[in-house]
A and B are shown apart, each in its own frame.
Chain A
Amino acid sequence: GENVEQHPSTLSVQEGDSAVIKCTYSDSASNYFPWYKQELGKGPQLIIDIRSNVGEKKDQRIAVTLNKTAKHFSLHITETQPEDSAVYFCAARRNQGAQKLVFGQGTRLTINP
């Protein structure tokens, strides 16, 4: 089955700097890759996703890149703000067959003022 590895497990950056979180996946049939932000005591919130037919997607300060050949994808947050502090999860899913999301282990991002 699918296995998703996420790095780093913790990340601390100065406010205004950029943060990058990386994930690798094992199942070449996976073709949907969402990123979730989870704040303390809340459920995961979808912040951006990418499908395998594109290599990059951007939404304001957040961007995701996908390299299908290498089977890895990354989340980029620019101009970080204190409210970006949270745990971020990447996930992967097949479009056909299994519908479940397989999540990475999470990255605790701390933005230092």
Chain B
Amino acid sequence: GAGVSQTPSNKVTEKGKYVELRCDPISGHTALYWYRQSLGQGPEFLIYFQGTGAADDSGLPNDRFFAVRPEGSVSTLKIQRTERGDSAVYLCASSPTGARTEAFFGQGTRLTVV
């Protein structure tokens, strides 16, 4: 596709369950980012990949959150033992490289933990 694709668009899960959120970046983009956006707030950085490696994971809130990008393209954000406070829109963005280039966002996955 032409843009960043995120699936699912909506996810409702019960407290304590495990969830995976998927991001398909723009083809050829080596940099990939995950952000979290709470209602009425700006996006907050979670993790940044350059290729297959996590170059900066300083935004992950705790060890229940983990992300992978095994082949340098698709990325999966994994959340274990979900809590109601994890409810938010999770946004993925990609750019051709990390530096000096624009980041393009997907439409996000709205996660609701009940």
Contacts of B107 in A (CB 8 A): 41-43
Q: How many A-B residue pairs lie within 8 Å, measured between CB atoms?
A: 61
Q: Are A32 and B42 in contact, CB atoms less than 8 angstroms apart?
A: no
Contacts of A105 in B (CB 8 A): 41-42
Q: Are A99 and B42 in contact, CB atoms less than 8 angstroms apart?
A: no
Q: Are A44 and B43 in contact, CB atoms less than 8 angstroms apart?
A: yes
Which of B41, B44, B48 contacts A99 (CB under 8 A)? Answer: B48
Give, as a whole number of angstroms, the nearest-CB distance from A59 to chain B.
13
Give, as a whole number of angstroms, the nearest-CB distance from A68 to chain B.
17
A89 to B55, CA, bound (A): 25
Residue of A nearest to B102 (CB): A46
Q: Give how many A residues have a beta carbon under 8 Å from the other chain's beta carbons.
A: 25
Given contacts A44-B43, A46-B104, A105-B42, contact A99 B56 (CB under 8 A): yes
**Is B77 at the interface (CB under 8 A from chain A)?**
no
Q: Are B91 and A98 in contact, CB atoms less than 8 angstroms apart?
A: no
Contacts of A44 in B (CB 8 A): 43, 91, 105
Which of A43, A96, A100 contacts B105 (CB under 8 A)? Answer: A43
Give, as a whole number of angstroms, the nearest-CB distance from B94 to chain A.
12
Q: Are B108 and A43 in contact, CB atoms less than 8 angstroms apart?
A: yes
Give, as a whole number of angstroms, the nearest-CB distance from A90 to chain B.
9
Contacts of B105 in A (CB 8 A): 36, 43-46
Give, as a whole number of angstroms, the nearest-CB distance from A107 to chain B.
10
A89 to B37, CA, bound (A): 12
A103 to B38, CA, bound (A): 12
Known: A43-B91, A101-B103. 7 other contacts (CB 8 A): A41-B107, A42-B108, A46-B102, A46-B103, A91-B42, A99-B98, A101-B45
Binding site for A on B (CB under 8 A): 4, 6, 31, 33, 35, 40-45, 48, 50, 55-56, 59, 91, 93, 98-100, 102-108
Q: Can you give 15 A-B contacts (C-beta < 8 A)?
A: A32-B100, A36-B105, A42-B107, A43-B105, A43-B106, A43-B107, A46-B102, A49-B102, A89-B43, A99-B48, A99-B98, A100-B48, A101-B33, A103-B44, A105-B42
